[in-house]
Amino acid sequence: MEQELFIKEIVDRYEGDNGMLIPMLQDLQAEKGYLPPDDLRKLSRELEIPLVRIYGVVTFYSSFRMAPKGQHDVTLCMGTVCFLKGSGRISDALCEEFSIQPGGTTEDRLFTLQAVNCVGACALAPVMIIDGKYYDGVTPDSAIEVIRGLKTGDNV
């Protein structure tokens, strides 16, 4: 019931204006860290708009998350230079080792893996970024080692 009140507060804050759906979703995500399906259904009922419209907005904008985010952000560059230097193999190795897919979060919510088109650091290819720290010239083995360091609490 408390969450339904929170959804109502968000809707009231924007005077129930359907045109303010994006700010409402941003407020909800700021509170929860992601957009839980139950909350989206409640928002749909409160605004009296189809749930599919809300999902259309949520899936269109990359800033919205449909799953909880991990404690650490792991970004793997998949740009042309990085890909030619092995980022595809790195991605495959990380996905296999940690049972995750790009865009997903590990079961223990330790990290979220994002594959991006380019990070603008081609001279360092292939590049992996963890919580803003750049790792250059990574290999499948070194990427796994760095992530394992997150799991054990070792300084990365």
Give the full edge-to-edge strand order of the sheet including 111-116.
Answer: 111-116, 72-77, 127-130, 133-136
Burial class (CB in 10 A: 0-12, 13-18, 19+), 32: middle
Q: Is the pLDDT of residue 32 over 90?
A: no
pLDDT of residue 3: 65
CATH, range 72-152: 3.40.30.10
User: What are the pLDDT digits (tens) for 89-132?
Assistant: 999 999 999 999 988 899 888 999 999 999 999 999 999 999 99
Q: 19: Cβ–Cβ under 8 A, 6 or more apart, which residues?
A: none
* Distance of alpha carbon 132 from alpha carbon 21, whole angstroms: 30
pLDDT band at 33 (very low <50, low <70, confident <90, very high): confident
Three-state DSSP class for 130? Answer: strand
Per-domain boundaries in the chain: 2-60, 72-152
User: What are the pLDDT digits (tens) for 55-86?
Assistant: 999 989 878 888 888 899 999 999 999 999 99
For the chain, give the mean pLDDT: 91
